[in-house]
A and B are shown apart, each in its own frame.
Chain A
Amino acid sequence: MSRIDPGGVAHVAGGEAGSLYAAGQKVYPKAVHGPVRRAKWAILAACLALYYLVPWLRWDRGAGMPDQAVLVDIANARIFLLWIEIWPQEIYFLTGLLVLAAIGLFAVTSLFGRVWCGFACPQTVWTDLFLWVERRIEGDRNARMRLDAAPTTRGKALRKLAKHAAWLVIAAATGGAWIMYFQDAPTVTRDILTGGASLETYVFFGLFAGTTYTLAGWAREQVCTYMCPWPRFQAAMLDENSLVVSYRGWRGEPRGKAKAAGVGDCVDCRACLHACPTGIDIRDGQQLECIGCGLCIDACDEVMRRLSRPAGLVAFETLANLAASEAATAGIAPGPARQVRGMKARQPVRFSRPRTWLYAGVLGAVAAVMLGAFLLRPTATLAVLRDRAPIFVRLSDGGIRNAYTLKLENRTRPDAALALVLDAPEGFRLVVQDSAADAEARPLLALRQDGITQWRALVTAPAGAGLPESTPVRFRLLDAAGHTVLAERSVFLAPK
């Protein structure tokens, strides 16, 4: 691995000696064609379709409920996800999802390198989209470089204007779609377009549209290199068995002209460098700026095909295989023989490793806990809060009364009324303020659909009952068939 360069700052370290700040160097990625590029287009289309279309999916939840399939309803403190409804106190499901996403990211990175960065990260996806627009309007790499170097003319200004206008339209759509996850999509779209939306809506719309335009249009690779924390610690997930975008130096070096004798397969055409969206040279080895998008693979393979050489001079390859190939080809002169020996020395990629099993295990455990918690989540809860001021009330006949606040939370749709009974010693009387009563004169508590109802219960112990300081009691709610639906324990307190 002697070729692996520890540094990766070649393109910014070029500043004049002594300066602690370097002027940015604009990157002009060249369009490439090939399987990696096609995979990137497919993932880009899928991600964008998901992002833009999901808010428009409808889901019938009955009258008075939002009919949007995916909605984070902050005003009403609910998250709607198809048939699932998350209450604020269940926010740990969201936390669990984020934990799953993080561990999933670790697992995928340890297996396949930085595929998240290269293929699915929103920064990559939108930058790719913006680059595509840029290419349509200003042309490919060389045309863009010429255009930027040319003096300002009417044509140049028009092109630039068209590009930024297109970018702003995409950015506005992006910011708008974000808002749609938090408000009803058709309504908020109409409100934004007609000027009827709230100030907050416009602020967040502007915030997300602005960041999309800035980050995908202007900042691009600067986000990955300087702002994003993920490249800084992803090395902890990678090892020599992870697939990473690699230059097979054992095959390419020494570089030289295609027809020269005694040189490797790399013809130093710089196609990989020109295709790179972060402007690095993959031949310098693993480096922080490499987002693992693999576009250099497509670029190099195309050159190799034209030269009738085997593809794969740059490839998704493990560091272990690189080292093995290098060791096997030491001392062999450049040529087909070295290529064959080097490729033969490779071992199948070891996906089954302690590290990957550990990630898979943690992923499975967290997913199992989440699923269990989700399947066992109650659809209704009863909370009993005993009044503390006063702890008890002495009545004129010498009886003792305690008061309780009952909170009935109903997460299901249908309305229902449940009868309340009290499990307590003989003679205790239960009264619920402002409640109806059923045929057996038991308090009947109405459940509100998808909401909380609150009741005040007064429990009276008769005079002379000789009560201890604390008597356990239990409130039970019975359905129409007389089955206990919910139960909650509390205590009845009396003076010493």
Chain B
Amino acid sequence: MIELQNVTKLYGTVIGVNDITLSLAPGAYGLVGPNGSGKTTLLNLITGQLRPTIGRVRVLGQSPWKQDQLLRAIGLCPAVDVLYPNVSALEWVSYLVELHGLSSAEARRRAETALREVGMESTMRRSMGTYSLGMRQRTKLAQAFAHDPSLLILDEPFNGLDPIGRHEMTEVLRRWVRSGRSLILASHILHEVEAVSPSFLLIRGGRVLASGPPDEIRALLADVPNEIRIRCNRPRLLACEFVESGLSESIRFLDQGETILVSTRSPVAVFEQLPHWLAKFDLEVFEMRSADDSLQRLFSSLMRIHRGEA
């Protein structure tokens, strides 16, 4: 469905995406990465809004930059907010669907159906200037799939939605995936993507760091050391215990020796052993930060793997 071959995009001297090579079969994918990681640039390359500086992009076998008729098969919900204050959602979505070459009546019918599907039935005739951020998000989503594309690309579609709205949108997208059509969902929030897409692409610094289902990525991370930061009253003693127990890969002293940063491949064993040491040596722990499963940690670990440091 999508093929990128050594694709690099430069904005002057700034790298948007950096030497990405990937091949995606039809299906649903989550594009996950922190803000500024290159997600939007990658989506713009896929939709033909940007031309790669180096490399080749193919979508459904064609170059999206050269063949803009390809856009009939693609629906895009960009991250940027939209506001035509004096235009209703129905008028706007009909207008955009009509640009796909459909008649006015057919475009209006499809726009109504799409807006109903995202829960805008009662408000679709109101001017967009009166909409909340969540209503605008729903309208944006409706315009992306109203013309019935085979590939739907969504960039941060859950921004501004309340929990109920998020749940409803997730259901809409699940239905889309179940219908057998393709989806690329870009977000910086992992669990949002996980709820819809069975497969991830993790991107940071313009590079795809990992791809595959969550289990594969967890397996990839299994050998990556966790870091635990502990501030206590006797840091040197605790460091000695870590070394003697063989649980640590490395130990660093921080904050003028008041804090230790322990790198370990056995975090569970460390958390089991730590209470015993606290009791035995009468240690007072003021602060402990464990490596968690946050996106930041995930990306830090992947970057280390990518750089060959882990």
Are these two chains actual partners, yes or no?
Answer: no
Q: B residues within 8 Å of A by Cβ?
A: none
